[in-house]
A = this chain, B = another copy of it.
Amino acid sequence: MNPFIAKSARLRSTPFSERIEAYGVQSYTVYNHMLLPASFKGVEEDYHHLKTNVQLWDVSVERQVQIKGPDADILTQLITCRDLSNAKDHICYYAPIVDDKGKILNDPLIMKVAPNTWWISISDTDVILYAKGIAIGKNLDVEVTEPNVNPLAVQGPKSFELMSRVFGEDIINMKFFHFKKFPFEGHNFLIARSGWSKQGGFEIYIDDDVKGLELYDALIEKGGDLNVRPGCPNLIERIEGGLLSYGNDMNMDDTPLECGLDPFVSFNSDINYLGKSFLEKQHKEGVKRSLIGIKLHMNQISVNKFIPIFQDSKQIGELRSACFSPKFQCCLGIAMINKSDQQTSKPLQISIEGKEIGAEMTILPFTK
């Protein structure tokens, strides 16, 4: 028996909770103090549906931390190692949040939604408290708030057809990681070509609960023949696609460079962010460990905590997340492994539920 989730106001519901519960959500996780569906008909069945159809994801848990005011540009740049000095107001920037030692605290998308106004679309830590702390400590003239914005993702190969039916053909032409406002029933929704899957799609930033529900119902209604249904970020799909999950694959003890996020770490001398000198040093010396892919010789796996990985009886790292992959017909994992032990092709050993499992290293993202 799986323990059920005990609800309370502390685990916030979303504008769409009633819809997805009426449809029959099977399991929940909690993310940013809020309910996030984790499966509907089962993770593997949801996966197959996502890869061939279109799903509506209630990802309200992607809370926005809004930084607004005369010093908003300074504060936003200070907390991320990505260069935002030329940020455009129609592009999403994947931008790790770092502390003064260069450790990663979150891996959000950041958007400049208006002059002196940024939205940080966060993963699962209270970035609002970090931003408030830095702003207070440095006496910056900003307001740091969490607006009532509840993202709804439309994901899957048929998402383009569905979105064009509701918002018009033009939406299909939007480039990846671009965003723009599109009208629906008299309301303008900020919509990005983005989402936490590799199946294509959009994220709609719902800033009006009532209009949001009307839009939700319209998407369901107009997608009948496209086999649309409620869905959620999918463990298998995201691991097969090599999408990292903060809190699973990355945490406060890691740096962005150890997580392979080098393209999002700027050493531009014109910008100033926390931990820059630590990251410069690590970049120069090279990381001592990094995230890599693992193939495990087993047919099912569930990772609820980090699992030590051995080579020749020596621990060389830890497995952080894994799943059985229908595409690769084996179990795939994401692991943090000592760099010095990555050079050999020697087999790995992992003990899972008392059984010794063989495994091998591979690159991320996974390829056949």
Closest to A145 in B: B252
* Chain A, 1-21, CB within 8 A of any chain B CB: 1-13, 21
Q: Is A29 an interface residue (CB 8 A)?
A: yes
Q: Is A332 an interface residue (CB 8 A)?
A: no
Closest beta carbon of chain B to A352's beta carbon, Å? 14
Q: Is A248 an interface residue (CB 8 A)?
A: yes
Surface stretch bound by B, among A131-139, A176-184, A213-221: A131-139
* Chain A, 119-141, CB within 8 A of any chain B CB: 124-139
Closest to A37 in B: B3
Set B105, B133, B246: member contacting A137, Cβ < 8 A:
B133
A7 to B38 CA separation, bound complex (whole angstroms):
9
Q: Is A245 an interface residue (CB 8 A)?
A: yes
B4 touches A29 (CB 8 A): no
Surface stretch bound by B, among A83-91, A167-175, A261-269, A300-308: A300-308
Q: Is A298 an interface residue (CB 8 A)?
A: no
Closest to A20 in B: B3
A235 contacts which chain B residues (CB < 8 A)? 8
Number of interface residues, chain A, beta carbon within 8 A: 59
Copies of this protein in the assembly total 2
Q: Is A320 an interface residue (CB 8 A)?
A: yes
B7 touches A304 (CB 8 A): yes
A105 contacts which chain B residues (CB < 8 A)? 129
Determine which residue in A21, A305, A306 has the highest number of CB atoms from chain B within 10 A of its CB, and name it: A305
Instruction: Given A129-B105, A247-B9, verify A3-B26 contact (CB < 8 Å).
Output: yes
B13 touches A29 (CB 8 A): no
Instruction: Given A10-B247, A129-B126, A136-B100, verify A3-B30 contact (CB < 8 Å).
Output: no
Closest beta carbon of chain B to A127's beta carbon, Å? 7
* Chain A, 27-69, CB within 8 A of any chain B CB: 27-30, 33, 37-39
A248 touches B29 (CB 8 A): no
* Chain A, 195-254, CB within 8 A of any chain B CB: 235, 245-248, 252
Instruction: Given A3-B27, A30-B30, verify A303-B134 contact (CB < 8 Å).
Output: no
Given contacts A4-B5, A13-B304, A29-B30, 13 further A-B contacts (CB under 8 A): A3-B21, A5-B29, A6-B39, A7-B302, A7-B304, A8-B235, A8-B304, A9-B306, A10-B29, A10-B124, A10-B247, A100-B132, A146-B252
Listed A/B pairs (24) with beta-carbon separation below 8 Å: A3-B28, A4-B4, A4-B28, A5-B28, A6-B29, A7-B302, A8-B235, A8-B245, A9-B321, A10-B245, A10-B246, A11-B29, A13-B304, A33-B125, A99-B136, A100-B136, A125-B126, A125-B129, A128-B252, A130-B130, A130-B132, A133-B135, A135-B137, A138-B138
